[in-house]
Structure 1
Amino acid sequence: MTLYIWRHPKPMATEGICIGQTDVAVDKRKLKRLANRIERFTRLQQLPKVIWVSPLQRSLKVGQILARRGFQCRVAPELAEINFGEWDGRSWAQIAKQEIDDWCDDFAHFAPDHGESLQQLFDRVEMWLAKRLAEQDNLPILAVGHAGWINAAKMIAAGQNIPKVAADWPSAVTYGACSCLEI
């Protein structure tokens, strides 16, 4: 199965903020630009006009633009970014150093209060990928996702284990960039 997944456009006013499932806005022009790139790619590659998106507006709104252009837009909660729970939407400076140290010490399994661990994110990504493989008709899948989700999917596709330490987590994918994964 081939998965083409674009990272959503850069959200507005999020510098220094812990953003996971906080639903933040994106400039409409950036949403449209990404939709244009996806539409052009789909046309050039002669792919089905089906786009998978997360329910978070920075992904969902790209899908909605494409839906107005004839795409089928499928919303999947499993595509959402990692849930940082109590940390989500807060300034990194407001999060206790001890909590961040606890996270770094148990990177794969620590979860902020009411959030999810990296292990839970990987499980969610694997579950979504397995569902797509089970219903696969050998057509590539197009999606708009989030940096943490994309990194997890890349690691799964490469057969890598969940990082045990934060230093082993890859850099975030560039906003608007497309990753091609063979699953």
Structure 2
Amino acid sequence: MEVYLIRHTTPKIEKGVCYGFSDLEVTDSYQEELTILSEKLLQRLQKQYLKNKDKSKQEIEIYTSPLQRCSVLAKDLNVFIQNNFKSKVKENDKLKEMNFGDWELKKWNEINEEELKVWTDNFVTEFAPNGESFEILNERVIDFWQKNIKSQKGKIAFIVCHAGVIRSILCYALEIPLQRAFSVSIDYGSISKLKVFETHTQVEFLNG
């Protein structure tokens, strides 16, 4: 199976603010970012899947976080590729970004320093008050992966989601410790591609 991990475009929020579960809108540059992302994605798909115009349309499953910075993008990408592919959008709560609980929409420099240090020193198992740890996020993301991706042979999937979710998938696929999840930078509006085999998963590219 071939899986395209697509991070949402720039959200509408001030820099320096903590956000995860919060349902942010897309920013004013969304249409421009969408055009760039769509063209990059179609260019990559055309090289592999559109050589033979006579064959029936390839099917693509588009999974998305229900948060609108992802779901809006997923729906627009669905429209963009439908001339060449059969596709449909499926929202899944397990693809939401990490829940930062009481820290949501607070500026990072306004969060209690001691609480923040406890979390940053061990973000895998620690969590913000009334929030979740990266370990908990990872559990729900991997549950989604095993039920929807791992068993689907010979298909294509887009997963439109968040940086934390993408890092979780990469750690799982490459057997990397969660403590090293933030070693990978995931850009807004970026595409990363995985090839999923029965015995292993291969990263074809990151931040394309």
Q: 1:99 aligns with which of 115, 133, 139?
A: 115
How large is the Cα RMSD of the aligned pairs?
2.1
- CA–CA separation in structure 2 for the residues paired with 1:22 and 1:75: 16
TM-aligned CA distance change 1:3 to 1:68, over 3 Å: closer
Among all aligned residue pairs of Structure 1 and Structure 2, give the percentage whose two residues are the same amino acid: 28
Counterpart secondary structure, 1:68: helix
**Is the radius of gyration larger for structure 1 or structure 2?**
2
Q: 1:174 aligns with which of 184, 187, 191?
A: 187
Q: CA deviation at 1:43?
A: 4.1
- Correspondences of 1:1-183 after superposition (within 5 Å): 1-26=1-26, 27=28, 28-29=30-31, 30-46=33-49, 47-69=58-80, 70=82, 71-133=87-149, 135-163=151-179, 169-181=182-194, 182=196, 183=201
- CA–CA separation in structure 1 for the residues paired with 2:92 and 2:130: 21
Q: CA deviation at 1:6?
A: 1.2
Matched-pair contact (CA < 8 Å) for 1:35–1:62: no
Matched-pair contact (CA < 8 Å) for 2:6–2:160: yes
Task: Give the TM-score normalised by structure 1.
Answer: 0.86
More strand by share: 2
Query: What letter matches 1:20 in structure 2?
Result: G
Query: What letter matches 1:17 in structure 2?
Result: V
Matched-pair contact (CA < 8 Å) for 1:155–1:161: yes
Task: Give the TM-score normalised by structure 2.
Answer: 0.77
Q: CA deviation at 1:5?
A: 0.7
- CA–CA separation in structure 1 for the residues paired with 2:93 and 2:39: 24
Q: Which runs of 5+ in 2 are unaligned?
A: 50-57, 202-208
Q: Which runs of 5+ in 1 are unaligned?
A: none
Q: Which runs of 4+ in 1 moved over 4 A?
A: none
Matched-pair contact (CA < 8 Å) for 1:53–1:73: yes
Q: CA deviation at 1:134?
A: 5.3
